[in-house]
Amino acid sequence: MINCGSSSIKYQLYQMPEKAVICKGFVERIGESGAALRHQYRDDTTCLQCEIADHQQGMALILDTLVGAESPLDDVTEIGAVGHRVVHGGEEFTGSVTITDRVIASIERFANLAPLHNPPNLTGIRAAKGKLPDTPQIACFDTSFHATIPEVAYTYALPYDLYERFGIRRYGFHGTSHRYVARRAAKLLGMDKHEINCITAHLGNGCSITAVRNGRSVDTSMGLTPLEGLVMGTRSGDFDPAILFHLADRGYDMAALNKLCNKQSGLLGLSGESNDMRTLTEMAADGNRRAQLAMDVFCYRIRKYIGMYSAVLGRVDAVVFTGGIGENAADVRAGACRDLEYLGIALDTDLNGRAVGRREGPITTPDSRVKTLVIPTDEEAAIAADTYKIAGKMEMVPSRAEGPVSLAG
């Protein structure tokens, strides 16, 4: 699996259909000084620092690392398929697809809706196709899980022709994560994946929350872009849009407003110190008022969305926390669930405190009507599964890993 950023490439090599991770790593600082590849295989982690001018060179370095006597593959042709994370698929893609020239053109067209994400995703696709021209390449879209959101939920109360002309509507993001944890929650509760009603909260530096009815997304907090919704590490989430007009009248230009909303707000803006929840938790414990305020606003927004999405769903079987913060910050989970007993959420303080470090399981009491769960997300495994499902009908050559492999990330 390949997850390509503007100056990085994350990857994992899977043995399928077992979803076993053979090795993984990432290339960072592409085109910058201090570029490096970090690679984990078996019990060893290696770091190679070298000049990596562009993503093509980064992909070549990754593939070279995967092949050899002390590596998992004898030849890159043993890679049966490559799965790519793509952030924005617009309304066109409701699931993962084989990458063709038409698909690439569509991803380019949606780049204006995700200018920080789609262009690097395309760079990774082109780099991988250049190095593996005969290997199936699969695009897995962050937006596709949210393709089932109904019109009443995705439509903004703006002139309708803006939707018709420019596609301005709610799309939602983190869909691969929300889908994975919703499916996993159904399994843990002994329910069919198309039976469960749940609220899934993906909490990291980027945060979103989704209402899932009968296994399908019916509403989500992020909108046209990943800026809307919950408070995030450096993004504001919901606020009165007239604030932007107010600031524009006081000299802020478009670039400054964009930076303000996406890079200077959220936990960082509220605390004035950090966008890292671990740092803020320590600061708050030492009496820092603004760190505590940042945490309180963060939790309040989650709690408010849980209430809203309970109204949307009617019946809620589970609330799920995932992502770096959702999986590890017990104080945040407690704050997000505070005073929600009326919804049927009865938090178990001891279980909540012990649910850290990618530990999966319930954090509510046995008699809690709405089960609240911590489920570590695994977007990479979900992308690998989609990639194998689409490309798996083709013959995949077994490697020394004793099974067909796919590169995903």
- Active-site positions read 142
- In angstroms, the CA 379 to CA 62 distance is 20
The kind and range of the H/E element at 403 are none
- Nearest CA-CA partner of 145 in 238, 54, 215: 215
* Cβ(173)–Cβ(200) below 8 Å: no
* Cβ(16)–Cβ(405) below 8 Å: yes
- Nearest CA-CA partner of 118 in 102, 126, 129, 107: 107
The kind and range of the H/E element at 155 are none
* Cβ(209)–Cβ(221) below 8 Å: yes
Q: Which residues pair with 44 in a beta bridge?
A: 41
- In angstroms, the CA 211 to CA 107 distance is 26
- In angstroms, the CA 267 to CA 84 distance is 30
Ramachandran region, residue 39 (left: φ > 0; alpha: ψ -120 to 50; beta: rest)? beta
- In angstroms, the CA 184 to CA 377 distance is 9
